[in-house]
Amino acid sequence: MEKSKLSTLFKDKSFGKILFNEPMKNHTSFKIGGPADIMIIPSREKDIIESIKFCREKNIKYIIMGNGTNLLVRDTGIRGVVIKIANGFDNIAIDNDKIFCQGGTLLSVIAKKALRESLAGFEFASGIPGTIGGAITMNAGAYGGEMKDIVTKVIALDKNNNIVELANKDMNFRYRGSTVIDEGLIVLGVELQLRKQEYSKIEEKMKDFTNRRVSKQPLDLPSGGSTFKRPTGYYAGKLIDDAGLRGIRFGYAQVSEKHCGFIVNRGNATFEEVFTLIKTVQKIVHDKYNIMLEPEIKIIGDY
Active site residues: 176, 226, 296
Please state, as a whole number, how many other Cβ atoms lie within 10 Å of the Cβ of residue 77: 21
Instruction: Considering only CA atoms, give the Rg of the chain.
Output: 20
Burial class (CB in 10 A: 0-12, 13-18, 19+), 238: exposed
Encoded amino acid at 285, one letter? V
**How far apart are the C-alpha atoms of 102 and 86, rounded to whole Å?**
9
Helices (H), 58-170: 107-116, 132-138
Q: How many helices (H) and strands (E) does the chain have?
A: 8, 18
Burial class (CB in 10 A: 0-12, 13-18, 19+), 220: exposed
